Structure 1
């Protein structure tokens, strides 16, 4: 996913100022695609320069923010991007390497980090479930709502999966050490 397409999606849903867009982004798409407010403003300028969005004339009232709306070219770009084929994202997570390193050189105290991560994932899962109860009290009856709910459910499942994996890691870290480690990839002596 790219930040421009995330911003185009948000602007299709509703025209708004950069600060409103950044706040909306933090409360929705930002759970799945992180971007700083500076990155958002830079990308808005690029999208406007490319003719995909336009800023609306600022009203002369003090403190009025520049609002943006998507143009037909922006909708076309978004449609083309949605229809593209791509490969599923490869798992690239530093923590997986840390688990392997723990197996190779441990014990290192990784169990403290596992406990910390469990707390973070439990908090995020609780937040997602709270959002789900508030925003989806009943089963969606239309396509748009069902797709929004599906994205949220993906977040719920992601957090549940991490919690399951971290609890398995906790159990593995409590197991006894192997009495001898096999030597691997050592050159044979002649």
Structure 2
């Protein structure tokens, strides 16, 4: 059984990935592993504490990663180990899924240069923050979710759609079509 790694850092948007992680683990029967730059606990946007299972450096040594999920959070600097992991997984054609501001890490790693993607982070927001834009705007698409090969990106408000795109990619509901349909109907009928 391969691992799905979730990158967590201070102020990450935990709500954007909880549905995906829950169903990947409990329906898809895959191991979900939290990863941070170090093993110190972080506090999410919701105020909950999370403790990484592995560091990014340790994840670089894992052989059984099926994919990486990156939630949104603040625009911030990126450590070289994360860039190395993203490039490694991209070369191996492993799933790279990022939502809201999370695609910033894929952008800095050069993964989005030749792929269509979306993000919640506008050019205006980057100007307000006075930071270098991590996104190659030529390949940006104004959609809720964009899947280009093994790379999945989404706007923050589309966290349910993002989850379902991940489920489809990983085959989480491959043998459980009726459960998938019912879950989607339940969410849409709220």
Range into which the TM-score falls when normalised by the shorter chain: under 0.3
| TM-score, scaled to structure 1 | 0.27
| TM-score, scaled to structure 2 | 0.27
Which structure's CA Rg is the greater one?
A: 1
Higher relative contact order (CA 8 A, sep 6+): 2
